[in-house]
Structure formats: C-alpha cells, structure tokens
Structure 1
Amino acid sequence: MAQQQTALEESIENIVNIFHQYSVRIEPRDLLNKKELRNLVANELPNFLKKETRNQTALDDLMEDLDKNQDSQLDFNEFVVLVSRVLQARQQQTLHP
C-alpha cells in the first residue's frame, strides 16, 4: 500500500499537473505560449498576480522576463522561476502584512 503524500508533496504534484494542464493545449506540448500563460495566470493565480491578470503589458513583461532562451514560450524550468517568485512574494506578505 502506497504511503499518503504529505501536504508539500501534494502541492508539488499540483504545480506539475497545472503546468501540464495548460501546456498541452496548443502544440508544441510541454511549453507555455503567451496565450497559455495568460490563461494559467488568470485562472490559477488571479489573487497573487492581479496586475498581470488585468494588464496585457504587465503579462508581456512577465513573459519576456521569464523567457530566458527567448523562444516566446516557457518551458517547465522557466515556469518554476515564476512559481518561486510567487512563493517568495507570498512569504514576504506573510512576514510583513
């Protein structure tokens, strides 16, 4: 019988699954284009990335900043940078409300 996942393990699984949920909609698979990133941010991070949800220029700037290889898409490693930044910002909000 498999051991139940911890809360952190479940959170990690959810992050991976959400990336794949949005990255497989349009070819090439396992890469987020700007439209897929916009949908992911709007649906999954509306409270944490409010400016990017409402403002196309802010989303364009975010995409450009994260897209280190400048292929106009985000691979999983580039997406993880976004997740890390959101986690760090959330931690700061917790410490300094």
Structure 2
Amino acid sequence: MSKLEKAMDTLINVFHTYSAWEGDKHKLCKRELKDLLQNELGEYLEEQKDATSVDRILKELDENGDGEVDFQEFVILVASLTVACNTTFCESS
C-alpha cells in the first residue's frame, strides 16, 4: 500500500476501534468520541480536556443531529485539523 492508502486504512481502523465499544458500531457516542479525542488527537486538541469542549465538538460535528458522530462527520474533523496543521506548517516555513 502507498503511504496515503495506509493513512486512509489507519483512519478507518481508528474510527471503528472506538465506535465498536458500545451502541451503534458505526457511530461514536459521546463517551467513545471523548476517548478517541483524548487518545488519538490529544496533542492537537488540548482543549478537549475541558468537559464542555467534548459537548461542543460533538454538536459541531453532528450534522444530522442524532447525538452521535458517524464516519463522514468524523472525517470532517480530521480533515479540518489536517488543514489547520498544514496552514501552521506553511506559515512556519
């Protein structure tokens, strides 16, 4: 696999590792999202340590209003963070 294919595979596997913990195995409930944010994106999302920030992130990502984050909504978060990191990288170069 190419580096990009490996990255995509990793993204899919990380999402489903957390989404499989409880409830709908294809969506992240609030607890699963919080654990994923802390364990996988802790350095990029320092603010997620605040209890209300997980609620805010969930609300922002939950486009269909079902109180959970599906894979498409999760990818939006990862893409947004990636764009922000690239912007920071370009500004510091």
The TM-score range, normalised by the shorter chain, is over 0.9
Pair 1:58-2:53 in alignment = yes
- Please report the RMSD computed on the Cα atoms of aligned residues, expressed in angstroms: 0.8
Greater Rg, structure 1 or structure 2? 1
Query: Which deviations, in whole Å up to 9, do the C-alpha atoms of 1:2-23 show, x marking residues without a partner?
Result: xxx1111101100000000000
Pair 1:28-2:27 in alignment = no
4+ residue segments displaced more than 6 Å: none
Gaps of 5+ in 2: none
1:42 to 38, 43, 46: 38
| 2:62 corresponding residue in structure 1 | 67
State percent identity of aligned pairs.
33
> Larger strand proportion, structure 1 or 2?
2
The number of residue pairs the alignment matches comes to: 92
Residue 51 of structure 1 deviates from its aligned partner by 0.7
Residue 45 of structure 1 deviates from its aligned partner by 0.4
TM-score norm. by structure 2 comes to 0.95
Structure 2 CA distance, aligned partners of 1:41 and 1:87? 14
Residue 81 of structure 1 deviates from its aligned partner by 0.6
Structure 2 CA distance, aligned partners of 1:24 and 1:94? 34
TM-score norm. by structure 1 comes to 0.91
1:19 to 11, 15, 20: 15
